[in-house]
Structure 1
Amino acid sequence: MTAPARFTFRPVDPPADAGLLHTWVTHPKASFWLMSDASRYDVERAYADIAQAPYQDAFIGSYDGEPVCLLERYDPARVELPGLYDAEPGDVGMHFLVAPADRPVHGFTRAVIAAVMGELFADPSVRRVVVEPDVRNTAVHALNKTVGFEVVRRIRKPEKEALLSICTRAGYEAALDGGRVR
């Protein structure tokens, strides 16, 4: 499975993208991103750190050439979740953020997460996608379900209580075949 042709992903360039990312991560709709009070410099430093880290990276997702989302990919056995779940070979962790829109388009966020999942599963070594959204983020829990995620359990992280959820390649493909993902 690959992302729909209209979506493309490229690595974040921290100095060049910091301004754009700052507007996204500090927007009120991005409160679960935990960067509401970050300065532009803070955002640039955070993404420079990710770019230098051995087990994580970040990407700007574009739709027809227009930046629309942020994708963070990480090794959950080493970043975010070490010791909090039973890691398996082929696991990849993911965070995603859809850019705030002046005029939201119905179904667009679902299209973004489908593209993100397609991008992750385009790597044949990826068997499962692992996420840990805040338990209060009910919108993302519902969205995750549409692409095949299943809740494993609640976990406690230093910054939040989260719902550990996993999507297998087969679960994502079943969601595609079942028409839940477009």
Structure 2
Amino acid sequence: MSIDGQHYRRDVTGFGVVTIRPVRPDEDADLLHGWVTTERARFWGMREASRERVHGIYAYLDALTTHHAYLAHRDGGPAALVQTYEPGADPVGECYEVRPGDIGVHLLIGPPVSAERGFTGALFGAILEFVFADPTRLRIVMEPDVRNDRMLRRLLRSGFRAGPLIELPEKQARLHFLDRPEDTGVANAG
């Protein structure tokens, strides 16, 4: 695993090289628009967004110090959109007792989704390692829509603990928590 400035690189045995870099709104707007407006991204809440709206959202996130967006690649091809945020600076933070070291994460696996066995687990494991690469991050908080059965199952398989149901302006969600592993080696997320 290596992190140089704002780029993360991890060679995942049997899977390939996962790299993660910040979203570049001007360069990535077409790709992101194509992803977030698909039916499978319905829980992302941007299905009707124009390309300009998607660009504007990611340009806004790029200007914040509390929220960040990243593109994860596998062997050079775009594979996932990852967003991190400080829960205390987000509406989620009003729904539970935020602890020092909490980091919120949103994940969208990009189309086309691979039918390759273990793809999502291996990619998610590398993303979790990326998030925990910052030693100040002690717990990941995720709040998927309660209707997103696939993500709810993925989180439980990946070691997250289910928390309470919460009401957010755009959805009813279930909080999930993953404490920082002792060795920070979260290589496979189920």
TM-score normalised according to structure 1 size: 0.91
Deviations 1:16-55 (A, max 9, x none): 1000000110111111000001111111000001001121
1:181 maps to 2:184: no
- Once residues 171 and 88 of structure 2 are traced to their aligned partners in structure 1, the CA distance between those partners, rounded to angstroms, is 18
Give 5+ residue unaligned stretches, structure 1: none
Deviations 1:76-125 (A, max 9, x none): 11113122111111110000111111653222111121111110011111
Q: Which residue number corresponds to residue 107 of structure 2?
A: 96
TM-score normalised according to structure 2 size: 0.87
Name the Cα RMSD after superposition.
Answer: 2.1
**Counterpart amino acid of 1:109?**
T
1:124 maps to 2:135: yes
- Per-residue deviation, 1:147: 1.7
Find the residue that maps to 2:151 and give its secondary structure. Answer: helix
**Counterpart amino acid of 1:155?**
I
Contact 2:71 2:80 (8 Å CA) reproduced:
yes
Q: Which residue number corresponds to residue 18 of structure 1?
A: 29
Give 5+ residue unaligned stretches, structure 2: 3-8, 12-16
Aligned structure 1 segments of 4 or more residues deviating by more than 6 angstroms: none
Matching residue within 43, 57, 64 for 1:53: 64
Q: Which residue number corresponds to residue 68 of structure 1?
A: 79
Alignment length, in residue pairs?
Answer: 179
- Kindly tell me: are residues 85 and 103 of structure 1, through their superposed partners in 2, closer, same or farther at Cα, counting changes over 3 Å? closer
